[in-house]
């Protein structure tokens, strides 16, 4: 029997998100900003929701924020997701929200407005995915 690969699945990389996933490979947390009005957005998309510009630029983000909300979905176990995930919405310091997994914490210990920081985990096909954990003191 072939050895199983329990890494997270590789992301779906598109023309609009390629910059994000390439930065994540280098463990850099970036976002997309409008080159005309400066509005930040997440997830990456081809047009600014504020001014409808198609001119965008990459912005380096702090990787820090607070927990806005979270859910613990219950589903059958699949490779790469053996432990039930805490899916969270993070309020980033830069004023946008980012959906990710919250890790390195027990379900019962998650609280609203809890400070968190980004870290990266390998995926299949050589990518890395940004995840969040409580800020280490």
Rounded distance, CA 108 to CA 92, Å? 22
Rounded distance, CA 8 to CA 95, Å? 28
Return the pLDDT at 136: 86
- Residue 129 above 50 pLDDT? yes
Return the pLDDT at 3: 47
Question: Mean per-residue pLDDT for 94-106?
Answer: 97
Return the pLDDT at 127: 95
* Distances in whole angstroms, Cα of residue 113 to Cα of each of 6, 11, 110, 126, 130: 31, 28, 9, 33, 19
CATH topology classification for 62-137: OB fold (Dihydrolipoamide Acetyltransferase, E2P) (2.40.50)
Instruction: Please list, in sequence order, all residues whose beta carbon lies within 8 angstroms of the beta carbon of residue 82, skipping any fewer than 6 positions away.
Output: 6
* Reported pTM: 0.89
Rounded distance, CA 34 to CA 51, Å? 9
Return the pLDDT at 93: 98
Question: Hunting for tokens 């994000």 — which residue is that?
Answer: 20
- Residue 79 above 90 pLDDT? no
Question: Mean per-residue pLDDT for 88-109?
Answer: 97
How many C-beta atoms lie closer than 10 Å to residue 88's C-beta?
24
For residue range 83-92, list pLDDT tens digits in order: 778 999 999 9
For residue range 14-73, list pLDDT tens digits in order: 999 999 999 999 999 999 999 999 999 999 999 999 999 999 999 999 999 999 999 998
Mean pLDDT of the chain: 92
- Residue 78 above 80 pLDDT? no
Q: Name the segment(s) of the chain with CATH classification 2.40.50.
A: 62-137
Rounded distance, CA 37 to CA 33, Å? 8
Question: Hunting for tokens 């965008």 — which residue is that?
Answer: 56
């Amino acid at each position: 029997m072939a050895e199983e690969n329990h890494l997270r699945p590789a992301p779906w990389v598109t023309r609009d998100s390629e910059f994000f996933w390439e930065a994540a490979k280098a463990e850099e947390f970036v976002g997309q900003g409008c080159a005309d009005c400066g509005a930040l957005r997440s997830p990456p998309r081809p047009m600014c929701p504020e001014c409808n510009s198609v001119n965008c630029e990459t912005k380096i983000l702090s990787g820090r924020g607070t927990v806005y909300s979270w859910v613990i979905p219950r589903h059958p176990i699949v490779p790469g997701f053996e432990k039930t995930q805490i899916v969270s919405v993070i309020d980033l310091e830069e004023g946008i929200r980012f959906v990710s997994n919250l890790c390195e914490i027990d379900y019962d210990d998650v609280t609203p407005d809890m400070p968190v920081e980004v870290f990266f985990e390998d995926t299949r096909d050589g990518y890395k995915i940004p995840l969040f954990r409580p800020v280490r003191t």
